[in-house]
Structure 1
Amino acid sequence: MEIFYLLCSIISTFFTSLALSLLLPFRFLLTRHRHPPPPLSTTQVEAVSLYEGTVWHERRRPVRHSFRYSVRYALFDLDNAPNTPPDHLSADVARRFTKTDGPVFLLTIPPSVGYEQNPLSIYYCYDLEGNTKLLKKCIAEVTNTPWGERVLFVFDPNSDLVAKPLHVSPFMDMLGNWSLKANAPDQNLLVTISVQHPELGDYFLATLKAKRVSPESVHDHALFFWLMPHKVALWIYWHALKLWWKNVSFIQHPRYTNPSYREDALNRDRKLQCCPGLRRNKAEHMQVGGSDSVTGVEKDHGERYFVWRDAKWPWS
């Protein structure tokens, strides 16, 4: 059934994106000619930064497999950006989530010609100390492909270890822990995620390295991000096929074999936090949920907070 839904999504996305791509230059010209958009303020212009870089994946076991591809991201100041991507947290919710009081920035790939694909989006949450803003916490927003699920959780950008809470690949089980690290985005941006597994060890590494693009060199954001989500999806499916060809074991989604996998992830994360060598911030908290609502972020149970929800169609 999931294969059927996936094929339907691919076919629907293909024809929708083809039609919107053909209309894109005409729509751009007509909009400029008939309805010139009002000029943006300096604050609004500076509220969106563009980045261009490379994603690199390396798997060391049970077989060696690595690849890299070019990506383009946008960093939105959620308090000031005029048009933020839909289906993401607001700045106020992110601040309540992380107990911060400064600006919040969202790093994500915007939708393009009717399609969105974001395996990972990151919220950068700052605290204000006088006239200085310091990166205090990050929120990871991870979406799996093609199951249409999403999980959000807080992590320490300096270095954190989180029990894997989502089935993101049919070639990885749920026993690993994610080691995450991210710098405060400026001219350069870096995110690293490695997987630590009780049997395979430190067997997987993913990095995002990007540089800020001069705004003068980009005349239209729709053209800058044209088909970017599609390229990401293509790389995901293509390399999944390669892993299958290399006889890497296919692992079914745990909801069919272990319906309590979310609770298991919470318990494993509690154990990580209780270990003195791995313990992080005690002020974070947890929740198991399946709705689209994130209103529970105001609750505080003294532990890390996870929110599971459905991703918006088409799967992103």
Structure 2
Amino acid sequence: MNPLPGPWGAVLYETRTTHVRAAPRRVFRHRGYLWLVDPDHLPPIPWPLRPLAAFRARDHAIDRTESDMTIRQDLEHFLAGHGVRLGDGRVLMLTQARSLGHVFNPLTVYWCHDPQGRVRCAVAEVHNTYGGRHRYLLHPDAAGRAGTPKEFHVSPFFPVDGHYRMSLPPPGERLDLTVRLDRPDGHAFTATVHGTARPAGPRTLLRAALRHPFATWAVSLHIRYQGIRLWLRGLPVHPDPATEEVPTA
């Protein structure tokens, strides 16, 4: 049974995202919206509105050759590789839906529950602008806080080192997430996402899409724009160790 409210059994969060780079100090903000869905009960969006929101397993699969898996099955495959089995436990997924033919999710979060409804673990799925994807398995404390070493190339202006400290409390009427990166020489970067919940339905989706048109495209463009500004300031570029090539954007 899907416990989420609204006619579609999902929630839309109108969000404000802030990125703060410590040195040189740069602050980047943008507004948009995110979905909270149960992958086992995805929103039954009517066909006239489907161009505005689609949830596809291939937009999240780490191994994109496993094209026959659902979102839930792909996540369980990842968890099983780390010795975690949810059984009948519910999963809640915070993400950006594919809209107008495009999707880019810098961060998707899964809260994974045991059959008794307790949060068993969380998964932070990170995408970079070069098509790479990586998942971090987290075991948050009662306040939703967890840490993990950085293992994935995200920004060309940071090497793959350091440690993430995340605050990912399960969302309710409010969404309040924080991801902080600490490197050997100190605090490097913080991202926060704050939002207010609205039960998802036709009117809520249309209002969000009108207030934030081309939201999925805007995220990609804003990240690239900020990267160009940092590059023009002469910040050194760190190649992706997975390819040993310098990113071009």
Q: Which TM-score applies when normalising by structure 1?
A: 0.61
1:133-172 alignment runs, 5 A limit? 133-145=117-129, 147-157=130-140, 158-172=144-158
Q: Which has the higher helix share?
A: 1
Provide, for residues 85-129 of structure 1, a one-character-per-residue CA deviation record: whole Å limited to 9, x for no partner: 112363355356143342111111111111111111111111233
Out of 53, 69, 72, the residue aligned to residue 33 of structure 2 is 72
Instruction: Tell me the equivalent position of 1:240.
Output: 227
Q: Percent identity?
A: 26
Structure 1 segments (4+ residues) deviating >6 Å = none
8 A Cα contact 1:156 1:181, kept in partner: no
Q: Specify the SS of the correspondent of 2:118.
A: strand
Amino acid at match of 1:91: R
Cα gap change, 1:149 to 1:256, in 2 (>3 Å): closer
Out of 197, 209, 230, the residue aligned to residue 194 of structure 2 is 209
How far apart in 2 are the matches of 1:119 and 1:248? 22
Cα gap change, 1:119 to 1:168, in 2 (>3 Å): same
8 A Cα contact 1:139 1:155, kept in partner: yes
Higher relative contact order (CA 8 A, sep 6+): 2
Amino acid at match of 1:85: F
Q: Specify the SS of the correspondent of 2:153.
A: coil
CA RMSD of aligned residues (A): 2.5
How far apart in 2 are the matches of 1:182 and 1:219? 24
Instruction: Tell me the equivalent position of 1:90.
Output: 71
Q: CA deviation at 1:138?
A: 1.0
Instruction: Tell me the equivalent position of 1:227.
Output: 214
Cα gap change, 1:105 to 1:222, in 2 (>3 Å): same
Q: Specify the SS of the correspondent of 2:152.
A: coil
Instruction: Tell me the equivalent position of 1:184.
Output: 170
How far apart in 2 are the matches of 1:208 and 1:232? 13
8 A Cα contact 2:12 2:197, kept in partner: yes
Unaligned runs of 5+ in 1: 1-41, 259-316
Instruction: Tell me the equivalent position of 1:25.
Output: none
Provide, for residues 27-67 of structure 1, a one-character-per-residue CA deviation record: whole Å limited to 9, x for no partner: xxxxxxxxxxxxxxx98834221111111111112x11111
Cα gap change, 1:179 to 1:219, in 2 (>3 Å): closer
Q: Which TM-score applies when normalising by structure 2?
A: 0.76
Q: Specify the SS of the correspondent of 1:165.
A: coil
Amino acid at match of 1:213: R
Q: Specify the SS of the correspondent of 1:142.
A: strand
Count of aligned pairs between the two proteins: 211
How far apart in 2 are the matches of 1:43 and 1:188? 14
How far apart in 2 are the matches of 1:128 and 1:229? 34
Amino acid at match of 2:18: W
Instruction: Tell me the equivalent position of 1:107.
Output: 94
How far apart in 2 are the matches of 1:78 and 1:221? 23
How far apart in 2 are the matches of 1:178 and 1:119? 15
